[in-house]
Amino acid sequence: MIRIAICDDELLFQNQIAHAIHTYETHLDVVTKCFDNGDELLKSHSEAPFDIIFLDIVMPLFHGMDIAKELRTQDKNVKIVFLTSSTDYAVDSYTVKAANYLLKPLSVDKFHACLADLFEDFAKDAPSILVKTSTSLRTVLLNQIEYVEAQNRYIVFSLTTGETLKTLDPLYSFINKLTVSDGFYKCHRSYIINMHFIDSYTSKEVKMHSGALIPISRSCHVDFKESYFNYFFRKAGE
């Protein structure tokens, strides 16, 4: 999960940035939190660090550049992006190793290009597996996999993009690669599901985000419920 902070004293601008982030098409799991002052941002970051921070510069109470310097003393890896109406601090942004410096009013195209660069870096480090198809060896991010199904001689990966991948590798060869700790569960002899994409479930089946209905083996029902609740509460605590 990528944690993103937005710090700006204008509520409307906070909402615009948050909306632009959540409507940007990505396979990465993203959560945002907004702040109207740097002091609250620093406190929150010290308790649960953010991966990306969009930071205004000219704000009441604390100057954005001072906040960035303090952030950098706490965290050498957090990506800081300045969002400001002033060009006066562009040179200073290099001293805190800012990932970008964007001017208001914000261009949607430039903001999306910025997100693409930021997310690309995280995608490189995102957990993935190799899937051998009839034509190529594909790298598939774990958070792109909605479920895996055994169909006759093939194993079919159903992805969140709507794409499906077929491989002749047996289902058991993926058991140790798609683990409960990563959010996966083998609910049936022919299915492995990604619990992140569960919409609802009964004692007999699971409904996925795509609408697919996946059977739950009778022998798995109790263990599945326990695994799903543990996963749900673990995600809620992140």
Residue 236 CA neighbour count, 13 Å, CB half: 6
Domains along the chain? 2-125 (3.40.50.2300), 128-236 (2.40.50.1020)
Other residues' Cβ atoms within 10 Å of the Cβ of residue 94:
9
What residues contact residue 196 under an 8 Å CB cut-off, 6+ apart? 29, 143, 183, 231, 235
Listed residue (182, 29, 195, 201) closest to 174, CA to CA: 182
In the chain, alpha helices (H): 11-22, 38-47, 64-74, 108-125, 221-236
| 78-118 pLDDT per residue, tens | 999 999 988 998 998 999 999 999 999 988 889 999 999 99
Condensed to tens digits (0 to 9), the pLDDT of residues 20-71 reads 998 887 767 788 999 999 999 999 999 888 999 999 998 887 899 999 999 9
Greatest alpha-carbon pair distance for the chain in Å reads 65
The more confidently predicted of residues 192 and 47 is 192
Q: What is the DSSP letter of 18?
A: H
Partners of 191 in the β-ladder: 149, 188
Q: What's the rounded Cα separation, in Å, for the pair 214 and 204?
A: 9
Among candidate residues 131, 126, 121, the one with its CA nearest the CA of residue 142: 126
**C-alpha triplet 161, 162, 164: angle, nearest 5°:** 110
pTM: 0.60
Pairwise pLDDT comparison (31 vs 4), residue with the higher score: 4
Burial class (CB in 10 A: 0-12, 13-18, 19+), 127: exposed
